[in-house]
Amino acid sequence: MAQKKILFLTGDYAEDYETMVPFQMLLMVGHEVHTVCPGKKKGEKVQTAIHDFDGAQTYSEKPGHLFELNFSFDEVDPGAYDALCIAGGRAPEYLRLDQKVIDLVHHFNHFSKPIAAVCHGIQILTAANIVVGRRLTAYPAVGPEVTIAGGEYVSVPVTEAVVDGNLVTAPAWPGHPQWIAAFLKVLGTKIEL
């Protein structure tokens, strides 16, 4: 398997599992993963949040781990990466306001590089205006944004993922097995057991 270089975008109050698990899984299969957050440097940390489904009408939020970034956002050269992965949680709602984040997404989309986004991470894709005519999923509360942005929102169980060309999306962290497997397939990663 050829190692890929993946840019992983996260931020303060990104969902804990949606940051920790994909990062660790992508490393586990041998890829190089640079975790970044606008305004932060290598060695700085983001505060994650744990979103859980406790029976309320929406998810609950509890403090998560401190996640250490292993690369500085200001040093990112998008041309050096094979793929982009975007964590969900609350971080995307403010990350999508950063023009450099939008420019990164445009780069990956323009060159048809794999883009994986989970949960509210899809808000960054809609803000970048790259979902027109695309089929994707998201956390259900983000579904209307997908539709307004010209995408086709696909309602799937939280354990599923949707693939449309280079775009791999999932509704929430319970979909990690399907989402990461689909992302690895789009990346061309083969795992031998």
Measured in degrees and rounded to the nearest 5, phi and psi for residue 44 equal: -80, 165
Phi-psi category of residue 150: left, alpha or beta, with phi > 0 → left and psi -120 to 50 → alpha: left
**37 in Cβ contact with 73 (< 8 Å):** yes
- Residue 158: burial class (beta carbons within 10 Å; 0-12, 13-18, 19+): middle
Cα distance between residue 138 and residue 136, in whole Å: 7
Residues that are catalytic: 119-120
- The single residue listed with the structure tokens 């970048």 is 128
